[in-house]
Structure 1
């Protein structure tokens, strides 16, 4: 595909590769298609990964019954466990045929079971709607990346099953009242990265254009200092959710870069994704920079933290994993150097999965 500018991407995108037809519910494929180069780096899989067992398919996402917030519960254990296991298998499969076999079974078994269905009353309850949408999207991002990078290990028939299942979940998470409220929110950006990955896999420009509009909307909505309006208003979680938002925006930009499109340079009012990353680093070092926004209360905050007492542990955990993409792509930028300086995780990245980052950036980058 010829590289095109980020500004043109929202208007027209033409992707080369397999021929796919889509309908409202199903995907058809005439012949087995090769893997899709979702990410543009050449060193994929260049790390050692400890594999984890794959949970049995979780059939119904119903937070009213299973989700208890900060405590461990069967639903979130299964979904988080699946995202982690797939992220690890997706990295290991670049080097190991045994890992490829395990990845194939892991993705196919959940697709054949039509896992992650929603109950009829999924939106009844104070937190059930947002949690249902979030958990489903969060689980599917690393699944889409691993599947796209290794699609050639699946038969044509298996691809139909998996991509039809994936399409149902992408549509369900993207087309509901909650997602419409999250146009400038970390959860909306998380969905955009899933939609971008699916759009590339299925060669469906509509998903790519919508993901691009969400990305561009995030840059336009950003304040001049780099703060993201909704995520910076989360009390003691403001830095935490700003980091989550940036992880998804960076993954979306990486997916576009794999298609020859530069979203990193997309600018609105002099603001780019680099502006947001610079702000995150500065607010982590000087939490007073975000305290005023954090007090605006645009969403729940973690217990034990408040606007003047931020949760800042992202710098030493796998929540910083997205930085591996950014630093490798732009090592000369002061923003990348400052990011590495503030994050002990990025100074010595571990092969750990971060779902908003699409798996294990330490291995994928």
Structure 2
């Protein structure tokens, strides 16, 4: 595929492509994975945006709950976020308008880290402002977030990125910046009075950027259909809701249908467990975006967590994750038993569990997440323990001397 420079253009989300799913693992033939054409053919007409201000949780209700909590973990989060950032300092960050090019993580980790610093800073900035607003109820942070995003929108930031099917890292990096911005904005928009021009500009920018980015279906390898598809679906759902764009919203929903269709009888995501020693890591990584996306969709009134395709539900994928965490031999012939476990000490990979536990009784999940709280993910929702944890679930942080602090460079967004 030739190199391309992408500028902000509204293009069809799906193109009628006869795309071969190259590079699939032996565990998943092309016939078992829903193709792009098959995804396009899904009848998802029943799904439409019904509540543009619903976000991914009830912000007003959660703020009321937090106002009376005596939970030590939540109080610590509230105290930390009450000392929010300076809006003047936030506005000093320059929008990324230059041609964005990011080296691949696995072949060039040092170069990737350096290039990614300003991208991660953007995600921390928007998530931090949204979190400060939820923690304090101070309009200062909500209005600052709108002005911050408007500043980027004014310059059509992030719309000029390098993409080649063999060098997609800038495309990968941009996807998380889109849903970081959209999810943060969803937390504050219903509470901002005035700033109509700025809000309209932010929504124009997010919608156009989402269409532009999702208009690239993914090239060689699995990025058309694996966790990167789930990541694109997350911003599609959230931006679709915010801008009342049913086409984007249905693109987001299609990822849930595709993931359940592709899942093995055991509950494995074939394109994730094909990653060798990182099979367990990527099974979890897929859940991170799928369950967060399902939460967005559910807020529009759909029982997406109950969706069953081919006798499989999202709960099968959760159960399989814990089986292979407990015993890698449960992977069978899907992947080696010598699995990479470094991700298990990094809370950002497990924020989906707060959403899941708010909805379902899952003792194994609760046991695991107790050792990780509080959980924060700079792009996929932000301060998820603050937003979702049942105050009665756990009252104190579990100290773990081996637990590694989350850093800005753990590899989120890698293929």
1:341 match:
367
Instruction: Find 1:62's aligned residue among 53, 78, 100.
Output: 100
Find 2:348's aligned residue among 308, 311, 318. 318
Q: How high is the TM-score relative to the length of structure 2?
A: 0.70
User: How far apart are 1:156 and its partner, in Å?
Assistant: 2.1
User: Quick one: which of 159, 176, 184 aligns to 2:199?
Assistant: 159
List aligned pairs for 1:6-85, cutoff 5 A.
10-16=44-50, 36-41=53-58, 42-44=61-63, 46=66, 47-48=77-78, 49-50=80-81, 51=84, 54=90, 55-60=93-98, 62-64=100-102, 69-71=108-110, 73-85=113-125
The reply to whether residue 103 of structure 1 matches residue 141 of structure 2 is no
1:40-99 CA distance string (max 9 Å, x none): 443159442445664432223533579784226443111112112211211221222332
Match of 1:238 in 2: 279
Q: What runs of 5+ residues in structure 2 fail to find an aligned partner?
A: 1-41, 67-76, 389-415
| 3-state SS, counterpart of residue 178 of structure 1 | coil
* Separation (CA, whole Å) in 2 of partners of 1:285 and 1:360: 27
Deviations 1:171-204 (A, max 9, x none): 1221114179534311100111110111111111
Indicate how the Cα distance of structure 1 residues 70 and 194 shifts in structure 2: closer, same or farther if over 3 A, else same: same
Q: What are the Cα deviations for residues 220-244 of structure 1, in whole angstroms up to 9, with x where unaligned? A: 1000111100011112222222212
Larger radius of gyration: 2
Secondary structure of 2:333 counterpart: helix
| Pairwise CA RMSD | 2.7
Count of matched residue positions in the alignment of Structure 1 and Structure 2: 319
2:376 to 352, 355, 359: 352
Given candidates 206, 218, 224, the residue that maps to 2:259 is: 218
Deviations 1:297-348 (A, max 9, x none): xxxxxxxxxx623235336522111111110111x2xxx21112133445xx
The separation in 1 between residues aligned to 2:252 and 2:227, in whole angstroms, is 13
Inter-CA distance 93–87: structure 2 relative to 1 (3 Å threshold): same
Instruction: Indicate how the Cα distance of structure 1 residues 62 and 311 shifts in structure 2: closer, same or farther if over 3 A, else same.
Output: farther
